[in-house]
Structures are given as structure tokens and as C-alpha cells.
A and B are shown apart, each in its own frame.
Chain A
Amino acid sequence: MSFLYPLGLLGLIAIPVLIIIYIIKNKYTEQVISATYLWTLSEKFLKRKNPINRLTGIISLILQMLAVIFISFAIAHPVFVLPGAANDFLFIIDGSGSMNIASNGKTRFDAGKDEIVSLIKDSADGSTYTLIFAAEETEVIYENLDDKERAVNFLKELSPSFLASGFTDAISAAQNYFNENSGVKTVLVTDKDYENYENVTLIKVSAGEQNYALSEVTPSLSGGKLSVSGTAYSYESDATVTVELFVNGSDSAVASQQVELKKLEGSQFTLDGGDNADYRSLRVAIKEGDGLSLDNEVVLHNIKTDNSYKTLIISENQTFFIKTALKAVGNTQIDEVTPEKYELADYSGYGLYVYDGYSPVIMPSDGAVWFINPTVSTEKSGFSVQGVVEPEAPGAVFVYNPSSATRVKNLLRGVVKDDITAFKYVKCGLYRNFTTALSHGGNPVVFAGTNGYGNREMVFAFDISDSDLAMSVNFTTLVYNLLSYTFPSIVDETVYYCGDTVLVNVLANCNSIKAEAPSGKTEYLDVSNEICEYTLKEAGVYTFTLIISNVSRTVNVFSQLPEAERFTTVSEQSFVISGEASEQKRDGKYEDLLILFIILAVIFIADWMVYCYEQYQLR
């Protein structure tokens, strides 16, 4: 027997105090009566054989002492080591992606849950259960729960994640429980092999299931032709699999290839996609089924098909430089118009309006705007034109913004920071939140932001032909960066691994962004910033739907199962809980007696008080 709260035994100090009180207070009351004859005679009628009669004189004291002992022991909470006594169970269930591997229709995770349910049901009444769910984060689902039914119900609601799980926190938590109670029975349910484990019962739920997987699937375009290459794996045994390519959601494969797989060795494959260079989506899949289907296919979405737009250049001047730069970065649909014509007609429906050496009276509201060498201030443009600055020879040498802010870095990404000189430039006053890339004398000369319509806006505050920028290697790079800023993709990539964070660009006038997970769970993202972050927690195709001026636009990304979770058999180093385990068990059945003890104690104390009162009355 041991005690959970040994300090409770301090209550036993009350026993000598009781005895002293008893000795002091419990004197015989002397009284002269007319005759003791009847009292003496009564001795003959006492049941002398009852041994408790001998204790009658101190029965009250005995009961009080028993009450004190009961209370002290109840507080100290003795734990009896009895056959069939209850245990404190600590279950740790592996919630990593590999626990999704199924065998005979049942996943490893479900098999693990069944094992735990069985242990709970077979445990003695009064046992307590603590459940730790070890997924990408370690979570204590419940702690010291003594209700079997609730423990099982909570367990049944769990499902594995699609991420790799770290057991560091789980081991730490288990160690803490063990330090508090060395009698705790720790049970680890996992599909991993452990070379070394102590003070833990390992329940392994893997059963040598076959698993194939695809990795490094990459599309490539050459001469208008599409080809897709990648690597296929077999994690359990050598095998031959068929890899198929599907385009634009079709169920018919456009290409397939037999691939010989060696266990744990990657095998390259290349699929000919034919004339599908402008594909919207590609799906590459292994035809054969296995224990884990999540890693058997990869879906790729084409970002470029989502980002097509038309450009209108309004200029009196030669637009050679800017038009060449735009075409160089892939913007091929360009219309040109003079300011006179622009002012006479209603031009709309363009993704980008480029005003070169001209400033419109009214800003377009339906597209992004570039100003090159603005002449006058335009309402809602976000800046004012304050005159022309003409520095002395050799001209104005522009200064690169040294800030490490993300937007500045994005604007200047890949730019070789050579000197850029202009003979003159327009001094602009900014009254909206613009980011300056280049400046001179504190005056911004290349800056970007959003205008009064919420559309992206970029300004070159000088005539490109008056500068050496067009001749610089930086020109195309800078235009590309500015164009990327002006027309951000919703996402930068379309293939991720579970656990990765997707950066979703909040486009101009975007009212909402809905993220839909493969399981169907939806979540609305915060659109108050230009970029919002979203963590992929499931494997499969995620769909992001943006509502921009009441027009919806969707983009799909594919979340792959982490490669570490594709292995059917994983060996971990150790799961060691240090310390010496004890056989301490829980006296769960007897815990309810505590209330009984207290009630009895109260009764005895009341009896004692009544007795003392009677004694006082007799004096």
C-alpha cells in the first residue's frame, strides 16, 4: 500500500491530542446516592460475556480515534496493490499520415483505436485514462478520465492527420505523467518500429501493406508539346506499376507507362502529354491500388491559364521600350491608342492600362494602371504631380530602396543594383500607401501601390527614353517584377506537401476567399491584407475560390502526403520514459468510500460532542 497524498497522514497527530483531551475531560463524576444496593445488584444482570463491555468506558474515544484515522487515510488516499485493482492508463496514439494506410478496409489508425478500446473495456472499474494524440502537434485529448464510455467516445471521434508526427512532445508529456505517478501504464499505439523503448507497452498496428507513391512530378513544355516526368516508389516490395496521365479532369488517360519498381528505390518515368501545352490541370496516377491511395496521384494546375489579361497602351510617344518589355515577360495581348482617341472613346475591359507621357482625366476603374512620366495629377491616382525636376549633368542617379520589407524585396527581386540615371523626372507627392522602389533626393521615381479604385498601380516618374534604364539589364527584370505585382497570381505554386503553408494573394477588389479542403471542410480567409496564409492539413486537391467584384475565380492546389509518411515501415530511435516503474495501482472502487468515511466521521464527532455536553450537564 502506498499513499497518493502522504501529507494527509499528518491528521494522525490528532490522536494523541484526543487522548489527552479524553484524559483531562473524562473524569468520573462523584455522587452520593441513598443506596448503591440496586446499582450493585445490576452487575448480576449485565451480559458479562460481551467483550465490548470492557471497552464501553473508552468506546467513545475509540470511535473518535477511528474517525481521525479514517479521515487521515481518506485524505492521504491509500492505494492498494490488489489483484484486479484499477490502473492509470496513458494511451499515446500515433496520428501521423502513415496511419492512414489501410489493410482489409481498415486503416492502421482504426486498428489502433480498436486496440485501445479493448484495453479500456478490459480494465478494472475505477481505472483512469489519459489519451495523447501525437500528430503534427501533440494534443492531450483527455486526462485522468474515469468514465469508460466517454473515454471510448472521445477516442472514436479522432482521425489521423496527413502530416508527419513528432513524438518529442508526446515523450515529454508521458515522462511528466510518469514522474507524477510511476504506476501509470503507458501504451504507445503506432505503426513504427522502435529499436529501444522503456516503461511503455508498444502496440504495433502495421501489417506489411503494399504502398506505391509518386514524387517529383513535373510538367515541361517544349515546342508546344507537353511532357510530364516524375519518380515512382514502392515501399514494401519490388513491383511493376502503370503510371497514367490525365488532362483537364478527363477520365481517359492520354498516356501511360509501365514502370519497374525496386523496393525503396525511385524509378523515373516520362509521359508524353501531346498537344496539351495549355492544359488547365494534369493528373498523374498509379493504376494499381495499395494500402495508401493518397500518395498514388499528383494533380497539377496551370497557373498561367488563370492569369491571362489584355493591355492598353495610351501614348503619343514611341512605346517601343515598354511594349518590348511587356512582351518579353509574356504579355502578348497589347493594344495601342493615342490620348486623343482615348479621350474620345470609352475604353474598358482591359486588365492593364499603361499611360505613357499622358495622364487621363478620369482613372479607369476596371483594371490595373501604369503611369510612365505622368504629366498632371489625376483624381484617385493616389499621387499628385508637383513639377519636373531637372538635375544638373550627369542627371539624377536613382537610389534603390534599401528596405528589407517583403514588397520592396519583391519589386527589386533579381535586379542588379547598377546606377540608373535620368536627365529629368517628375516630382510626385504620394497620398496613398505606395511602396517606393527607386527614388532621388527623397522623391519617389518608381513606386507601386493601389489607387482609389483599389486596383494595383505602378508609376515610372520619368520618361524611359530620358534615362538609361531601357538599356540596362535590369529593365526587363524590373518590368517583370512590377507586372507580377500588378497581376499577382492567386498562388505561386500548385503543388505542396501536407503541412506546407500556401500564400494566397488577395487580388484587388477581392471580397472573399474560400478555401475548400479535400474532406469538404471550408474556411474563409482573412482578406484584409494583401497576402493571407493558409496551412494545408489534408492530402488531396484544395480549391481556393476568390470573389472579385462579384465574379468568382478559382484556383486548385494539390497537397501531397509527406514523403516520410509514405513508408510502410519506419524505424524510430527510441521511446524511453526514464525512471523506475512501480506496481502502484488505483483503488478506484474504494474511492467512493471516502464520502462514507466523512459521513461516519461527522456522526462520530457529533456523538462525541453530545457526550461531552452530557458530561457537562452532569457536573
Chain B
Amino acid sequence: MSLVINEEFLQQIELLQILIKNNVAGLFGGNHKSKTFGSSCEFSDYREYVAGDDITKIDWNAFARFDKLYLKLFLDERQMHTRIYIDASRSMGYGKGKKDEQALKLAAALAYLSVCEMDKVSIYVIRDRQVEEVVTNMLGKESYLNSIGKLNEITFDGDSYISEAILPSTVGYGDGTSVIISDFLTDNNYEDAIDHLAGKKRDILCIQVLSKEELNPKIRGKMHFFDSENTSRFYRKNINREIAQAYKKALEYATGRIGDYCAARGADYMLVSSEDALNDIFFNKLTVKGVIK
């Protein structure tokens, strides 16, 4: 199998980054200003002095004018940490759908864009009930280029339990974005993971990758489907127009369910076909979702 993350792909995302830089402010809000006050040079506000405050931050000019102690507040500017979780279950890699390739490309592209914003980037795979580190704390392009090739080593096999994997892992607190890339075609719980990340003040982006056959199945006739993750799960029907229509409704239901759940938690959700081009995803879908501003 040819490498997904190769020289050609890296040139492609470099070009993509330039295009994004010239057209939008930046990924995940651009300059990463914190919602908290900190020690940057950018003035934000005044507040009255309270005992115990750092007296070096008292604005003496204001004291001279108002005869009251005021603290001069500056915005805090932190380094963001983008954490990307890739669902490495067998369903992502089985068949002709190339969902695994699309997931890896998305992860690599998002990582590159974050790195260009001088953010730290970590990439994990969710395998069974664990989060496995693939690349951690990439910082700067050099680090990226040295590490990103590890994505090619990811294998997609077995089952995945997103919530059970993410909840016990270190996800950070209010310091960036968590991206979950999965097909979400499972009865397993993923809602708790979203809740957990939201509780950690993380920005959340759920990317659902589905193959063309899953989005618009053309198959008809008597079929006996086996689930790639667990062959004891099967579906046996004579697939006719009525069932095909029911499938479409099920698809709408499944994508709507995760989309609604994300929206309710302030998370972003995006449905991506494994056939979609990266340019299309970044310039259209992510822009529409407000992920790129």
C-alpha cells in the first residue's frame, strides 16, 4: 500500500496553507487570544485593586487621577494544543471506501495548519478502549515534518469505543481544539466523550467520514451483509427500493443525531465523504461551519 502521507501530499497541504493564509484569518480563530487575562502586551481593562493583587500591575496614573488603586489588565496569550483523535476501528479501513485515507489526510492537514499557527499538535488513535499516541506535542514545521510520517503506520483494525477511550486520557483544559475523526457508525457511546471535552473547555470538531457506498448505496437484490468489525453482526434482506429509502432515512437520522448533539454542546460537526477533495473540505465545509474564519 502506498503511503498516504507522502511528499506529494505535503506539498499539497503547504499550498493549502498558503491559500488559507491569504484568504482567511486562520484556523480555529486565528491569533488564539485567550478568554482569560494574562501577561501579554495587549491592554484589556481596569479593575479595582484587591488585597493580594500584584502591586506591579497597579496603574499609578489612574491612582493620581482618581485617588483609587486600579489594576491595569492585559489579555493572556497562551499556546494552543490541538489534539486530533483518529478512529482506528476496522470499519474505517475496510473495503473500497478509503475512509482511512481520508481520515489520515484530514488529520495531517489539520495538524499542519495548527503547526503553522505555532500551536502544539498531538495526534492519537482510538483503538478499542484506549487512546494511543501517534505524535505528541509537535511544534513547528520541522517537528511536523519529522513526525507526521508516523501516520502511515496506523493500522485500522478491531473495534473502537470513543468515550471509553477519551475519558480516561489527558485532554487538556481550555487550551485548544479537540478533533475526532470517525465514521461514528457504531452503537458505542461517543456522546460522553463530547461532553467530557466540552467540560474541559475544549473547542470540539467532530468529523464524520463516510464512504460513497455508505452515503448513496446502489446495491439491490438479496444481500447478506456482515459487519467488518464483528462478523456475528449481519444484515440479511432483499434490498429493494423501499429498503433503500429506509436506509437513506437511517443515514439522515444517524448524521442528524450526531450533528444535533454537537450543536447542543457548542461543538462543530462536519460530514465528509471519503471522495471529497481537501480543498473542497477546507474552503467550503469548514468555512460554512465557521471552523475557518
Contacts and interface: CB of A to CB of B under 8 A. Distances in A.
Interface residues of A, number: 29
A309 B37 CA distance: 162
Contacts of B224: 28-31
B247 A38 contact: yes
Contacts of A39: 225, 235, 237, 247, 250
A611 B221 CA distance: 8
Given A42-B243, A45-B246, A614-B221, A36 B251 contact: no
B292 to A, nearest CB: 29
Given A33-B226, A34-B214, A37-B186, A42 B246 contact: yes
Interface in B212-263: 213-214, 219-229, 231, 233-238, 240, 242-243, 245-247, 249-251, 253-254
A37 B240 CA distance: 18
B223 A35 contact: no
A521 interface: no
Given A38-B185, A38-B251, A39-B235, A33 B95 contact: yes
A46 B246 contact: yes
B211 interface: yes
A36 B234 contact: yes
A607 B183 CA distance: 37
B223 A29 contact: yes
Residue among A27, A38, A41 with max Cβ neighbours from chain B (10 Å)? A38
A90 to B, nearest CB: 54
A35 B183 contact: yes
Contacts of B222: 26-29, 57, 615
Nearest to A619: B221
A47 B241 CA distance: 12
Contacts of B207: none
Given A35-B186, A38-B185, A45 B249 contact: yes
Contacts of A40: 233, 235
Nearest to A40: B235
Contacts of B183: 34-35
Contact of A36 (B95, B211, B227): B227
B246 A35 contact: no
Contacts of B249: 42, 45
Contacts of B235: 36, 39-40
B226 A30 contact: yes
B217 to A, nearest CB: 9
Nearest to A52: B242
B94 interface: yes
Nearest to B215: A38
Given A37-B185, A38-B251, A41-B253, A32 B238 contact: no
Contact of A32 (B228, B242, B250): B228
Given A27-B222, A29-B221, A31-B226, 4 more contacts: A32-B226, A34-B99, A46-B246, A618-B221
Interface of A: 26-47, 53, 56-57, 611, 614-615, 618
11 contacts: A32-B225, A32-B226, A33-B213, A34-B90, A34-B95, A34-B183, A36-B225, A37-B186, A37-B227, A45-B247, A615-B222
